[in-house]
Amino acid sequence: MRAATLVRHVDEALAKARDPRAYITDDGKAEIRICAGTACHSSGRPAVTAAFKEELATRALVDTIRVVETGCHGFCEQGPIVVLWPSGLFYPHVRPEDVAGIVEASIVNDGVLQKRLYKDPETKQRIAHEKEIPFYIGQRRRVLALNGKIDPYSIDDYLAHGGYTALAKVLTDNDPAGVVEEIRRSGLRGRGGAGFSTGTKWYFARSSHGEVKYVVCNADEGDPGAFMDRSVLEGNPHVVLEGMMIAAFAIGASEGYVYVRHEYQFAVDRLRKALAQARERGIFGDGVLGSEFSFDVRITEGAGAFVCGEETALMASIEGRRGMPRTRPPYPAVEGLFGKPTNINNVETYANVPWIINHGADAFAAEGTPTSAGTKIFSLTGKVANSGLVEVPMGASLRHVIFEIGGGMLPGHHFKAVQLGGPSGGCLPESLLDEPIDFESLAAAGSMMGSGGMVVVDDSTCMVDFARFFLTFTAEESCGKCAPCRVGTGHLVSILDAICAGKGELADLDRLERLARVVKSGSLCGLGQTAPNPVLSSLRYFRDEFEEHIVQKRCRAVVCRDLVVYRIIPGKCTGCQRCVQVCPTEAITGPRADAHNLDPDKCIKCGSCYEVCRFDAIAGDAILIESRGQHAD
C-alpha cells in the first residue's frame, strides 16, 4: 500500500473508531469520578455509586453530571475515593450517607463539605483539592495519568484522551525498525524486575527468523504486597493493549497473549471488554486501522504460581504444560512460545510505549537518570502513614517516597527498613534512605527494583522473622526443578527457624551466607537466584539482631514467640479487662479494677494482650521489658 493511501486509511479508520454518538469526557460535562479499583470496591464503592446516581436522579441532575467509575486513584487507604471534575475536589472514605451532603454542598451550591474533606495527618489541616494533597504532590503520574479520569470499560474515553494515536502514528510511518530504534533510544528498561533494555529485546525478536512470532504481556504479578500491574490493567487496559500492538508491529508478530492472574477478576473483565470494543472498532483483528497489519490478543489466566512470573515458565503455562523454567539459551526472542520467536514484557513496560511514540524518545529519556529513564510505579505498603500506588521519576530517593509522599511512619514508631523488589528483594536500612531509586543503585545496596513492591517496616518488626517470612514464601513457591532452589531455600528456612526459636549458633550466620550464595549461583531461574536476597541484605545491615537472637536469646521487637515471656506489671495494670477479653486460652484472670494475673503455663505467647494493653502493663521479652519500645542494654 502506498504511503499516502496508508495514511488516509489509518486516519479515516481512527476517526471512525471514535463513535460520535458516544458520550466522551472532553465535552465539558461535569463528572463525579468514583474510584472503582479493587481497594475502593472492597471498602464500599458499589453502594456509593448507587447513592450518587439516586441523588442525581432525585435532583434532576442526571443530564448535566456524569458518574464515572474510574480505575485506582492510588491513595488506596482513603477509599472509597470520590473526585469532582472539573473542580478537583477530593472526598475520601465516602459513605452512602455522605452523598446528599456532597451533592448539596459541592454541586448545587458550588462549595465544599468541610467535614468530609481529606485531613492531613501531620498538619491536621483539611485539604480540598486532590492536586494539593502531599501524597499526590510528589508524584509524576505518567503511566497512571488516566487512571482516575476515564471509565476503563469505555473505549471512547480512551480515544477522547488520545488513545491509539501512537498506534496510528507507527502504522502511517510504516517503519518497524524505526520503532525499535525509538524505544531503544528512549532508555526504557523492563519494569518486571530484570531491567533489561526493552529496545534491545525488541531488536532481538525482530532479527529472529520466523514467519510466526508472538508478543506476550506478563501480568502474573505474584509478589506479596504488589498491585501495580493489576491497577494499570483495571484502570486503563487500552494503554497496555496499544503498547502490545506497537511491539507486535515492530517485531513482525500477528498474535499476542496476556498472561494474567486468575485472582485479578476486575483486571480480566476490563481487559476482555477492552478487547471486544477494540475489535468492534477495527483496531484489533485483520487490517488494523485500514492497514495491512493484523494483530489480535488472547487472554490466559494463570493459576497463581509465583514461578510463572519467570518468562520461560510463563510460556510453558500458556502452552498447557506445568509452569517450570527451562535453561537459556535459546532465549525467547529466538525460540519462545510454541517454539517461535517471542517478545515478553510486563504490563508497566508496555504501558510506557504509547507515551514514548507520541512524545519521542528524548522526552522520555529526559525524565529519570541516564541509566534508568522514565518513571516507576511502586506499591507502597507496610508500616507507613500513606499507603497506595506511587509513581515517581527514576532516581527519586527512598526518603522522598516514604516520608514526603508516604507521610512517614505511624505514630509512636520509628523507621527500621524498607524491602524493595518483592520477596526476592533486599532490606535496606535508614542509612540508605537518601539513595536514589534506580537499577544500579539498588543492586549495589543489595536490593533490586523488581516489579515495584515497597514494604516499609518499623521498630515493631523483627528483621530475622521478616527475612524468614519472604524466604518461606519463595521456598514454598519453588517449582522444585533444580536442587539449589528446591533444597537450598528449604535449608535456609530451617536455619532461620532455629535462630528465631533461640536454638541458633553464631556459626549459623556463616552457614546462612555460604548457602545463600550457593543458591544464588546454582539456581536455574530468577526465583532461586534472587531468593536469598532478603537474608543476605538483612545480615549485611541488621546482623546485630541475628546475634541478639543467638547470644542473648532476645527478640527486641517482641515477635519471635520462643524468645518472649509475657507477664503483667501489677503497678501499671488498671484491671480494665481488655487483655482478659482477647486472651484465647484464658491465661489472664482477675476482677475488673484489680491488677490481673497471667498464668505462664496457659500462655501461648500470641501477643494479643500486649497489643491491646493501653497502659504498658504487659511486659513482653525474655528479659522482661518494663515499657513498650524501651529495651535493656
Other C-beta atoms lying within 10 Å of the C-beta of residue 101? 14
Q: Which fold has domain 463-552?
A: de novo design (two linked rop proteins) (1.20.1440)
**What's the CA gap between 73 and 89, in Å, rounded?**
13
The domain 375-458 is placed in CATH, from the list 3.10.20.600, 3.40.640.10, 3.40.1190.20, 3.40.50.970, at 3.10.20.600
Which residues of the chain does CATH 3.40.50.11540 include? 162-365
**What's the CA gap between 171 and 164, in Å, rounded?**
11
Report the pLDDT value the prediction gives residue 632, as an integer from 0 to 100. Answer: 32
* Spatial CA neighbour of 464 closest among 497, 420, 489: 497
| Summary mean pLDDT of the chain | 91
Nearest 5°: phi and psi at 11?
-60, -45
Report the pLDDT value the prediction gives residue 532, as an integer from 0 to 100. Answer: 95
Instruction: Report DSSP state, residue 568.
Output: E
Report the pLDDT value the prediction gives residue 631, as an integer from 0 to 100. Answer: 35
Residue type, 193: G
Contacts of 50 (CB under 8 A, 6+ apart): 96
- pLDDT single digits (tens) 184-215: 999 999 998 778 999 999 999 999 999 999 99
Three-state SS at 632? coil
Burial of 11 (0-12, 13-18, 19+ CB in 10 A): middle
Report yes or no: 255 and 216 within 8 Å, Cβ to Cβ.
Answer: no
Q: List the helix and strand counts (H, then E) for the chain.
A: 25, 19
Angle at 33 between CA 30 and CA 35, to 5 degrees: 175
Q: Hunting for cell 528512549 — which residue is that?
A: 186
Which residues of the chain does CATH 3.40.30.10 include? 30-137
Q: Which long-range contacts (CB under 8 A, 24 or more apart) does 598-602 make?
A: 598/566, 598/567, 598/568, 600/565, 600/566, 600/567
**What's the CA gap between 117 and 78, in Å, rounded?**
11
Report the pLDDT value the prediction gives residue 626, as an integer from 0 to 100. Answer: 38
Q: Which residues of 576-592 are buried (b: 16+ CB within 10 A; e: fewer)?
A: bbbbbebbeeebbebee
Which residues of the chain does CATH 1.20.1440.230 include? 463-552
**What's the CA gap between 309 and 282, in Å, rounded?**
32
Peptide bond into 330 cis (omega under 30): yes
Q: Dihedral of the CA atoms 327, 331, 334, 337 (nearest 10)?
A: 70
Sign of the dihedral through C-alpha 193, 420, 361, 137? positive
Report yes or no: 1 and 126 within 8 Å, Cβ to Cβ.
Answer: no
Residues in the chain where the model's pLDDT stays below 50:
1, 21-26, 623-633
Contacts of 46 (CB under 8 A, 6+ apart): none
Q: Which fold has domain 30-137?
A: Glutaredoxin (3.40.30)
Other C-beta atoms lying within 10 Å of the C-beta of residue 255? 18
Q: Where are the alpha helices (DSSP H) in 386-462?
A: 398-399, 439-444
Report yes or no: 593 and 587 within 8 Å, Cβ to Cβ.
Answer: no
Q: What is the CATH number of domain 162-365?
A: 3.40.50.11540
Pairing mode, if any, of strands 296-302 and 255-261?
A: parallel
Report the pLDDT value the prediction gives residue 103, as an integer from 0 to 100. Answer: 96
Report yes or no: 415 and 437 within 8 Å, Cβ to Cβ.
Answer: no
Three-state SS at 227? coil
Cell of 170: 507507527
Architecture of domain 564-620 in this structure: 2-Layer Sandwich (3.30)
